[in-house]
Structure formats: structure tokens, C-alpha cells
Structure 1
């Protein structure tokens, strides 16, 4: 079990992390995501024992770590998986995984589970990036850590391999029943692999929750924009809906009162397009994405939106179209920027 309570980390006069709290479930995976310099890697370093807390406390099993009480990294029972693999270049795969193990049975288990059994005698410099990361993960799990920390584990891999390997890593963590914090700058990765995700900004945790909640009900405009394409459309709160120039959308947030002016979060999949000579918008550009097309749309009132359609829907630059809200789910709303 890992508990982080009001953790703060300072480097000289710079605050890297402020008032960060997180309790990790018994076999839970939490992804931390945020822009470069937001403090997510500093949180990992503090848990691993590579940097001391300036305030707050970290609890790992029976260990209590704070500014006055330190526990050596090797005594924390924490496993680490890095972006650069950190394999021993002079040891083969099997010896890397079994390094310092008296009983090699756990190494055998994870070599088999992660599909590296037939490469047991290979040297690290003969392996692909994905194979190296499997070896690094097998080594970490073979030592039965109480918590596993993954720092951008897929950052150096190509996109196709990332999609495959992130699920293999998740399945391995669940099979081992090891709780993990997974740091990434990739929003898709963060949304897909974690049981919960935390979005960080300037050293603080802006939102912590399931990926679905963070995406559909972002707590702040920053979270809304960081977790995908976001645009904000002026609206007025009704009884159970919000009225906009593009039509009505369901409303489930009780924080607003009927008649309040709000900004409605609309994502590309919340909108639809159809050709109309008297439409409310025009196409500024279109981008082919394979299965879909992404369109930049300028409303007659001046706002710019992004709309995603099926790849068979072709619209020409400058074409007049009618843009409408098509979402069947409630859309997130924020206090109107004009009301501030």
C-alpha cells in the first residue's frame, strides 16, 4: 500500500510539487499526466527515495518518509521501470531479470509471461526497444516490489508498438497484483491504461479520477484542453439542458441555475456537419486521419470549432455547412468567461 499525504518538493527556491496527495489501491494502476515540468516525475523520485520530501509524508507499508525521516531506496521495496530501460549491457536477458535473486523461479515466470523466454541468452544490444522494455519490466516484477513506478516507459517506442506494449504491461501488473504509478506525457496512454488518472499542472494535482470522468467532466478548463481537443461555446442553462447557437445539449451539472450564462465544452465527436447553403458555419480546413476526418469549422458568429466525421464525408475548404450538437450525453459546462 502506498499513501502520499500533502507531499511538497522544492529544489532550492523552486517548488516542483505542492500539496500532492494520493492513496494507491492494492493492485491499482494510477497514471500521472501533465505538461513537461509539471512535477509528475518528481513525485516518482520522492517515492523511490531519489529526492527527499520538503513537506508532507509518504507511507509505503510500515515505512514513514518525510522531511525529517528518510528510508534508503533499497529498503522501500519499490520497483522502477525507466524510459531508457537501464539494463546491464554485460548481462544476458536471463541474468538481467534474475539479478540478485537467490531463487530464479520468479525470473522464469516473468520471462515466460512477457514472451521473452526464447531470448533468455540474448544480450541487450541485440534486442528491439519493445523487447528491452519487456526485460526491464520482467526484472522489476521478478523482485516482487510492493509498488512499481514507471517513468515514461513507452516514450522511446514507435506508435504501433506503444499501443501493443501498454496493454501487455497493464496485464502483467494486474497478474502480479502490484500497485503502480505510471508517469506519461501521452494523453491516450494515460486515458487507456490507468484505473484512475491524475492530471498535474505546475506541481499541483488538478484532477484525480477515472479516465472517463476526467475526460467527460473535467474540473478545470486546463484539464479539458489537456485531455483532448476542446472548444468552448457560449450557452444558457435551461431546466435540464443547455441552450447554444448549435442546438440544445443535455445538462446534468446541478451547480448552475436556470438562466445562467455558461461556456459549454464541445469536443470534435460532439458535433455533426451537413451541407447547407444557409448554414451557420464554413469549412476552414480538413485533415484526413484514416478512419475519420477532422475539420476546422468557423461559425458565422466567429467561434472556431473542430468536428470529426467519418472518413467518407468530404467537405471542401470554404464550403458552407450547418454545424449542430449531436452528443447524446451531458456536456460539461464552466462559468462564462464573459462573466468574470
Structure 2
């Protein structure tokens, strides 16, 4: 059963259409990540669900109760929806305990709900502290606990980890996900971080230009992107021209089997992920290349290869693999490729985040991914 149902939601700001008919179903007890580049409408969607914005068209319902529609627009405080903003927004003059108890009745505060929530987010015994005595990660944990305390129908997380360093961000999102599951909460996570969406969400909604262009599990979005734009936006992608015939694509990396294409044959663009490309001994290899760059990240590395026909591709290799620049190697592809007939190509998305946010930039397609 869907906890949240969004149907044909439109939101305009003067001549600008921020949401152009958004449809979304969020199953009860699940966490859905809304992912997209800056300006795509993901935060506007969250604000419309929360009741901070009045929609110009469409309907929003939670548990069958209409929150927004042609004749209805409930105020935010009557929606039963909790919001965790980017900075936590704790009341600085209240203790942690008082922050958590702010939205609870006196009876609920007496039942030990506050202590239960502190235990849930890993902060038992912190109730007496003031917000300024907490680290950034601890403040966000308290913000999540405060949102969950009144048992909301839906919790909205607006890039709640973006201000934290990479290591703390990974730890906190893992703990927050466990906390949501522990109480069976239904949530929407708005993020620009592809790695974050892939690692914590049950479903991912990819937004572009005010609409949802793909909605599915992290596995399907990554391995079966709806179009080349989604392929390039979600993770690192190697996109190559090809000619497809009888289920096989003739590419610069050899003739490769095709899984999924919008036509049976003809000129196409194919998708590989860098982890599909393996370096093998040059002797006897059908395709050879020269290593042009080696970007080491510890657990793995990205190796830039120039093929004999001067096309560049990127391979992801284990961090233990030796790959000296200038070395000639053989190249082999594992698995199938996904293909789109020429003409299906969408413009590449703008970078979703800037340098220094804990992610790395692919030297070929200029995309960013979690380090």
C-alpha cells in the first residue's frame, strides 16, 4: 500500500514551471530518494508535500487523506508530515530533551518517548546537553529523533547530510536508515549525491526539468537507466557509438551482447559501467589500449585508457591492481551493454556537486560519484 501518492502535481513561480506534472507513489515503510541536478524541482516537490508551498495543479494524499488538491490545501501543521532540514534547525535555547519533546503532548513526554528516541539514534544520556555542545553529526541525529518522536505519517529529509564530511556522512546516513527501519517510518530523502541515493534508498526517483524521468530500485536505475542522460547522471558511465545488429553491438571495445534496446538494429549509443571493463595481458587480447591516467582511491582506482582508434574509456579496477601510465594492456568487457538508437541521446547533466564534497570526478564524462 502506498503511504504517499502524488498525482500530476504542478508548481509554478511566475513564468517558471518548477514541477510539470509529477507522479510518485511511496510505499508504506519505505525510503524513496529523489535525485536530480540543481534546479530540477526536487526540493520544490518536498516543500509541496510538506505544505510549505501551495500546488497549482494535481493532488497529494497521505494514507488516503488528501493534503492538497483542487479544493483542498491543508496547512503544514495539520498534515502529519515531519521535515528534517539540511542544518537540523534545533532550537538553540532548548536542551536536547526539550527539543525532542517540543512536538509531544505532556502525556507522551511522561511515557519515556524522548529517552526512547535518543536510544534509537545512538545518543542515550545526551538529553541534558544544549545544541551548541553537540557535533554536527549529533545535531542531525537529534533532528531526526525529533522528527520521528510524534510518529508522523511521513518524514521528509532535505539533504540532511550535505554539511558533513564524507566519513561522517556515510556513517550517519547508515544509522539514520536503521532508525527509520526500526520504527517502520516512511520517508523521502532529497539528495544530489548519487552514492547516497544508491546506498540507502529502497526506490529512487530521478528528476529532470520538473518531472520524474525514472522511478525504480537502485539496481534497476543503475543497470537499466531510462536513457543516456540518466545513465550519465547516476554513477560513472562509458558511452560509446555502436552499430547494433541481431542483438550484438559493434563498438570500439569489440562486439558486445546487448541487453535492452529501443530498436532491433542500426546506429546506436551503448552504455558500459567502468567496472565492466577489465585489464588483461596484451598478448592475445582482441582489443588493446594504452594507460593514460591512473586515479587511486584506496579500495579501487579509475584507469583512463586510450584505445588504438584514439577513443578514451575509463575502467574501474581493484586498488591492488598495478597500472603504470604509458603501459600497453589488453581490454576485455564483462556482461551486456545497454543500447539506445542514435537520436535518443539527451544532453549531459550538469555536475550535481562541487569539488571537495567527498566525491570524485570521472576524467572522461566529468561526472561525480561517492569516494
TM-score, normalised relative to structure 1: 0.93
Within 5 Å, which residues of 2 pair with 1:150-165?
Answer: 150-165=157-172
Q: State the match for 2:96 in structure 1.
A: 93
Q: Which moved more, 1:241-250 or 1:220-229?
A: 241-250
RMSD: 2.1
Taking the aligned partners of 1:287 and 1:109, their CA distance within structure 2 comes to 45
Within 5 Å, which residues of 2 pair with 1:143-182?
Answer: 143-182=150-189
Taking the aligned partners of 1:100 and 1:59, their CA distance within structure 2 comes to 22
Within 5 Å, which residues of 2 pair with 1:62-77?
Answer: 62-77=65-80
Q: Any conservation in 1 of the 2:261–2:340 contact (CA below 8 Å)?
A: no
Taking the aligned partners of 2:183 and 2:77, their CA distance within structure 1 comes to 20
Taking the aligned partners of 1:338 and 1:65, their CA distance within structure 2 comes to 35
List per-residue Cα deviations over 1:254-285 (Å, max 9, x = no partner): 6432x433222012101012353896322221
Taking the aligned partners of 1:250 and 1:118, their CA distance within structure 2 comes to 58
Q: State the match for 2:197 in structure 1.
A: 190
Q: State the match for 1:294 in structure 2.
A: 302
Q: Any conservation in 1 of the 2:243–2:267 contact (CA below 8 Å)?
A: yes
Q: State the match for 2:317 in structure 1.
A: 309
Taking the aligned partners of 1:219 and 1:254, their CA distance within structure 2 comes to 10
Within 5 Å, which residues of 2 pair with 1:132-147?
Answer: 132-147=139-154
Aligned length in residues = 337
Within 5 Å, which residues of 2 pair with 1:16-35?
Answer: 16-35=18-37
Offset of residue 239 of structure 1:
4.2
Taking the aligned partners of 1:221 and 1:156, their CA distance within structure 2 comes to 30
Q: State the match for 2:352 in structure 1.
A: none
Offset of residue 170 of structure 1:
1.1
Q: Any conservation in 2 of the 1:216–1:331 contact (CA below 8 Å)?
A: no
Q: Any conservation in 1 of the 2:262–2:341 contact (CA below 8 Å)?
A: no
The correspondence for 1:229, drawn from 224, 227, 236, is: 236
Q: State the match for 2:10 in structure 1.
A: 8
Unaligned runs of 5+ in 1: none
Q: Any conservation in 2 of the 1:283–1:315 contact (CA below 8 Å)?
A: yes
Taking the aligned partners of 2:343 and 2:152, their CA distance within structure 1 comes to 47
Taking the aligned partners of 1:26 and 1:287, their CA distance within structure 2 comes to 42
Unaligned runs of 5+ in 2: 347-371
> Equivalent residue of 1:118, what SS?
coil
Taking the aligned partners of 2:258 and 2:247, their CA distance within structure 1 comes to 5
Taking the aligned partners of 2:128 and 2:100, their CA distance within structure 1 comes to 11
Q: State the match for 1:321 in structure 2.
A: 329
Taking the aligned partners of 1:305 and 1:339, their CA distance within structure 2 comes to 18
Taking the aligned partners of 1:338 and 1:173, their CA distance within structure 2 comes to 39
TM-aligned CA distance change 1:99 to 1:27, over 3 Å: same
List per-residue Cα deviations over 1:97-154 (Å, max 9, x = no partner): 0114121232221111112121110000010111101100111100110010000010
> Equivalent residue of 1:144, what SS?
coil
TM-score, normalised relative to structure 2: 0.86
Offset of residue 245 of structure 1:
3.5
